[in-house]
Amino acid sequence: MGGMGLEYRQWGWDREESFPPLGILSRWDLTGSLCSGAGQAMSGALIPADAGDGAVSSVLLRQDEQLEVLERLDFVVRNVVELRKEVEELRNSLQHLAVEIVGEVRTHLEETQRMTRRKKLPFCRDRSDSTGSSSIYFTASSGNANTDDGESEGGYSTANAESDYDRESEQESDDGEDDVSCDTVKTVRRDSLELAPEDESPLLLDSTLEEGLGQLLEQADRLHNGDEQDKREGFQLLLNNKLAYAGQQEFLWRLARAHSDMWELTEDADERRSYAIGGKEELELALQKWDQSAECHQWFAILYGQMSEYESIPKRIQAGYIFKEHIDKAIALKPQDPQLYYLLGRWCYQVAHLGWLEKRTVSALFEVPPTATVQDALQNFLRVEELSPGFSKAGRVYIAKCYRDLGDTSAAVLWMDLASELPGNTKEDAESERELEEMRSEWEE
């Protein structure tokens, strides 16, 4: 043991003699091979005199040169770390997108199969002597099933009620599957549904129902333009009449619009998503029959955008493509509607202000990414004013923001003043008023 101790002490002395003192080590350049710029800065330095005759020639940096080299290295390290984070985020986005695409393809195939089976079922009519049949509602909120004719269950329905086959065809439908589109499934019994005769148009209304539909639509439009309570009443009114008019185009897009109203009035994220999904699904079926309806395309685009608000970046970008596609179709069908140009203007403005990460994701996911400029947005907002002067407070605020972004301060101030003249009737108008105040405070500073 004593011998080992002596050997250890001798090894320690050898190490102390092998290396220069710490003060010398701190002055030695260890990065001469890392960058040429540092090498040029070292050209006039001296070799330490206390390094001994056998020391390898090295370059001594002045203190300011050492700091410069360290700053450059620190800059490189920070950029490498940021790049690594960006690559990881992009990888995760691509993985999520792949899963979403597979799920959407599977859902589309299942929906196609269900639609093929349902084509054998025409629109249902009421009768008093029919045998018992079951109807299925898909709800996203709580509510009690009601079996009385003329009333629907409480909550928020998102699919049409269906009657069973007659007794002669019940055996053929045992393998049918009902589409479950929302969170909760409630099965109720109805005794007043029957199939329409084969020689009768399934969507043809008798005079009484047609007259009732006209009155219903007028009332729904009036409630839609009212306050929050009116919008809620309008939503429930349309739900209560869904069984009678579910096969009518004018009814369906208003029902989808009411879902969008409820999305606006609701604060809970899950409930908002449920309303958006419900309205979108109503219009998915409607667009298969009425692809030439501007209103169906308009509200499908709006609901699709609302549905994607809480989704990942790739899914929001996909929703943007779908939104633009349906708004363009709606404008082609109804070119004098100012609301459509307002929606297109907002889309252009948002695309023009995409963040860096969103632009990178778009470039990675799509061969032809969406493009739009602030000038494109401005032209659409000005088109709104041309078709309907004073259409909305929010529209004039967007015009002011476009001119501000383009550097035209005088025009921006003019449109800010014009926006202030309009009353605020919606939540969007209230948000626009806050933006006006922020813009004024920025310019006053």
Token pair of 244 as six digits = 């009678």
Output 350 or 142, whichever has higher pLDDT. 350
Per-residue pLDDT averaged across 126-138, rounded?
31
- Look at residue 1 and tell me whether its pLDDT is greater than 70: no
Q: What is the H or E stretch that residue 138 is in?
A: strand 133-139
**Total structural domains in the chain?**
1
Please give the model's pTM, rounded to 2 decimal places: 0.55
Domain for residue 22, yes or no? yes
Per-residue pLDDT averaged across 3-16, rounded?
43
- Owning domain of residue 30: 2-61
Domain for residue 224, yes or no? no
Per-residue pLDDT averaged across 23-36, rounded?
39
pLDDT of 205 reads 52
Domain for residue 153, yes or no? no
- Look at residue 67 and tell me whether its pLDDT is greater than 90: no
- Look at residue 6 and tell me whether its pLDDT is greater than 90: no
Asked if residues 348 and 320 have their Cβ atoms less than 8 Å apart, the reply is no
pLDDT digits (tens, 9 = 90+) for 365-401: 777 777 899 999 999 999 999 999 999 999 999 999 9
Classify 189 as helix, strand or coil.
Answer: strand
Computed over every residue of the chain, the mean pLDDT equals 72
Domain for residue 348, yes or no? no
Per the DSSP assignment, residues forming a β-bridge with 133 are 190
pLDDT level of residue 297 (50, 70, 90 thresholds): very high
Per the DSSP assignment, residues forming a β-bridge with 188 are 135
Domain for residue 83, yes or no? no
Closest CA relative to residue 235, chosen from 154, 125, 142, 138: 154
Closest CA relative to residue 51, chosen from 32, 28, 68, 84: 28
Interhelix angle 374-387/393-405, nearest 10 degrees: 150
CA distance 256 to 259: 5
Determine which of 150-159, 226-235, 242-251, 379-388 has the lowest per-residue pLDDT on average.
150-159
Distance of alpha carbon 259 from its chain centroid, rounded? Answer: 17
Using CA atoms, how far residue 354 sits from 309, 326, 348, 351, 359, in Å, is: 15, 21, 10, 5, 6
Domain for residue 20, yes or no? yes
Determine which of 39-48, 181-190, 297-306 has the lowest per-residue pLDDT on average.
181-190
Token pair of 1 as six digits = 């043991």
- Look at residue 435 and tell me whether its pLDDT is greater than 50: yes
Per-residue pLDDT averaged across 313-321, rounded?
85
Domain for residue 287, yes or no? no
Domain for residue 19, yes or no? yes
